[in-house]
Amino acid sequence: MTWSDFLEIVSYPFVVRALVAGCLISLCASMLGVILVLKRYALIGHGLSEVGFAALAVALALDLSPLYVAMPLVVAASFGIMLIGRSKRVNGDVAIGVASSAALAAGVIVTSVTRGANTDVWNYMFGSVLAMTNEEVALSVALSIFIVVLFVLFYNRLFLVTYSEDCARSLGVNVEAYQFAISALTALTVVLGMRMMGTLLISSLVIMPALTARRLVGSFRALVVAAAVISPACFCGGLAASLFLNIPTGASVVAVNLAAMFLAGIPAIILRNTQR
């Protein structure tokens, strides 16, 4: 593919939609991912993506809109995971593992007894650059604006909830309300990103940019800013690579994020070696 061919493809409406929606979803996922990674709850993105797969399987079987079926179900699942995880009898990771396994099994059963592994299911599992609609782009814009405003207005409280729940409670912060709000926003981000990244890969947008940012900066504010820059940049690089190499967008974005994590770790390796 020549450069002129690439520029022509980038000008197509479906690619523009994918670029806009993908950057905004990456932004949302990375900002929420900083909190989830620091709270050691990053795998909730993976668990919710499996619930999303089950929801879309049910929606396709009933000829309903996957987006509007998945949203309430995945949000409800996020609340259930949070409630179970807060129980002293069950660890949060166990709750996520049980929810993801049960949801994946349910999705496979529903798919097998209805339509089988058709094209729609394949696109949702592994992502498709052709799948984004104007409606999903509009929802991505609204969600990204809401999350950015949330971080700006409630930055101090989010910081307290992330680093010290006891301190936050002593200052009158409703820790549970913030935790459930973050869980619900993560669920909505996962649902919107399923079309682009696929249910099997969307959790990477939550985890990897935050981990990359942690290798570069230390403060909470710097982590949020760095992750918010790294994630859309990696998405753009992954989208460009997928168009050039004709490979799935989701896998390409994950590969670019992995490369960014590796490059971010090189300065620390060099510093350790020089100190020896």
Q: What is the CATH number of the domain that holds 259?
A: 1.10.3470.10
The backbone torsions φ and ψ at residue 88, rounded to the nearest 5 degrees and listed phi first, read -75, -15
The one-letter amino acid at 190: V
Whether residue 71 is predicted with pLDDT greater than 70 in this model: the reply is: yes
With pLDDT > 90 as the criterion, what percentage of the chain qualifies? 8
Q: Nearest Cα to 49, choosing from 15, 25, 16?
A: 25
Amino acid occupying residue 102? A
pLDDT single digits (tens) 187-220: 888 888 887 787 778 888 888 999 999 888 888 8
Q: Exposed, middle or buried, 120 (CB in 10 Å: 0-12/13-18/19+)? A: middle
How many structural domains is the chain composed of? 1
Domain housing 63: 3-275
Q: What is residue 226's predicted lDDT score, i.e. its pLDDT?
A: 92
Residue 276 and residue 271: Cα distance in Å, rounded? 9
Report the pLDDT value the prediction gives residue 227, as an integer from 0 to 100.
92
Average pLDDT over residues 88-114: 75
**pLDDT tens string 75-97:** 888 888 887 766 666 666 677 77
User: Would you place residue 258 in the very low, low, confident or very high pLDDT band (cuts 50, 70, 90)?
Assistant: very high
Answer whether residue 116 shows pLDDT above 60. Answer: no
